[in-house]
Amino acid sequence: MEKMIASAVFLSRGRAVTSHTDDSEYAGGDAAALARQYSDHGADVILVFDLSDGDQEHDSSLTLMRRMARISDIPMWGAGNIGRAEDVKKILYAGCRKAVLNASKRSNLEMLEEVSKRFGREKIAVCMAPGRDPALSEEDRKKIRDYADTAILLTDALPATEEHTGEEDLLPSVIWLTGDAADKDSVVKLLQRECIAGFGDGLTQDPESSLMDYKADLKDLGAEMNTWTCSVSWDDLKKDGNGLVPVVVQDYRNEEVLMVAWMNREAFENTVRSGRMTYWSRSRNELWIKGMTSGHFQYLKELRIDCDNDTLLARVSQTGAACHTGNRSCFYRTALKKDTPLKNPMKVFEDVYATIEDRKAHPKEGSYTNYLFDKGIDKILKKCGEEATEIVIAAKNPNPEEIKYEVADFLYHMMVLMSARNITWDDIAQELANRE
């Protein structure tokens, strides 16, 4: 069974902090950016611990979790401030795949069966701190085995190889989380235990760590890790006269073509191992990791091969600009364009939204959009409500053209509302993508 590498994010007062004992800001306090880094750098799961105090702070943490879920490509599990079944629901609705209950709280153990049956055992986990929390009774241990999918063990350090606390046998799926940076041999020995499903330590908490490289090292030492496995080898590819293969690079979210580069064998194999796009520079005659100088890294999400085996398509998560000019894409200049109507629905939405944003930034006399912004949020909300009602009325009419007209009206006013509240179509798309 492949083992997971876990990274943890602690939330306090609406920002990311270093740990449950240290309230100083971590990575600028930007929890969403931190989640994106962990996701891009190779973590398999993000454990989110809500340390907030009071309902208002907790609501802020739930908002942060939603942002993190939208921006991250890996599962997120949420813990903290869970005291009733409704709290579990809020955690799951915030985008978390699992809600993590604190097993040291008697009330959490008592409701474990209820939430497991209501939301599904696969969405329920427990956390505990062996040596610090009171020992669990056999009845409690059985309840955890029956109604939770995973246990997270929080410790100051890894256990000695021969040490056996009993807590790790609670479930066949245990994530061991420690604050210390452990040596790789100890990590491998831990992960070789059948009951251990994953691990996190001080190194996996560092957002700058290349966790893909770390997992590859652990795999070389004998641990079964979730690493890239390519269905084709370098020898399967057709190279040019210099032993190179061209790579078309595309943004995996919006499918924008970003750049074209070249790979040799070493660049190809390093990309697959590390998950960071690595190329061969023909002008400098050397290997280069994209972003090593600029900080604009590309993290591999998918690698495709064309029908002739002579070109690769890399779908990536792009940090910053792909082009050395500072433009997002190297293809920012138009050489020829036929004036045809847009057909891509998402592009139409983005272009209309961009016009609305431009009106907000640069008001234009006589603009209806500026009229709405000037009147304020109440007017915008009133129009959204009116247009929604118009859709209902039109839907009673068998003429589909009327419905299309009213839906378009509603979407326009909704985009004005989105702009007023700084919500983008990318935010909406990610929210929908995270729903099951």
Condensed to tens digits (0 to 9), the pLDDT of residues 102-132 reads 999 999 999 999 999 999 999 999 999 887 8
User: For 28, which DSSP code?
Assistant: G
Fold of 234-318: Ubiquitin-like (UB roll) (3.10.20)
Residue 387 confidence class, pLDDT cut points 50, 70, 90: very high
C-alpha 388/C-alpha 379 separation (Å) is: 14
Predicted confidence (pLDDT) at residue 162 exceeds the cutoff of 70: no
What integer pLDDT is reported at residue 436 of this predicted model? Answer: 58
Average pLDDT, the chain: 91
Tell the burial category of 124 from Cβ atoms under 10 Å away from its Cβ (0-12, 13-18, 19+): buried
What integer pLDDT is reported at residue 345 of this predicted model? Answer: 77
Predicted confidence (pLDDT) at residue 25 exceeds the cutoff of 90: no
Which pLDDT tens digit goes with each residue over 368-378?
A: 999 999 999 99
Is 3.20.20.70 the CATH classification of the domain at 4-220?
yes
Fold of 345-433: Helix Hairpins (1.10.287)
In single-letter form, the type of residue at position 220 comes to: D
Domain ranges of the chain: 4-220, 234-318, 345-433
Which pLDDT tens digit goes with each residue over 255-297?
A: 899 999 999 999 999 999 999 999 999 999 999 999 999 999 9
Residue 357 confidence class, pLDDT cut points 50, 70, 90: very high
Rounded percentage of the chain residues whose pLDDT exceeds 70 = 96
Q: What is the largest CA-CA distance in the chain?
A: 77
Q: Do domains 4-220 and 234-318 have the same CATH topology?
A: no
What integer pLDDT is reported at residue 163 of this predicted model? Answer: 58
User: Per this entry, what is the length of the chain?
Assistant: 436
Q: Output the pTM of the full model.
A: 0.81
- Residue 58 and residue 52 in contact, taking contact as beta carbons nearer than 8 Å: yes
Which pLDDT tens digit goes with each residue over 188-197?
A: 999 999 889 9
Q: Which two tokens stand for residue 39?
A: 């996701």
Mean pLDDT of 5-19: 92
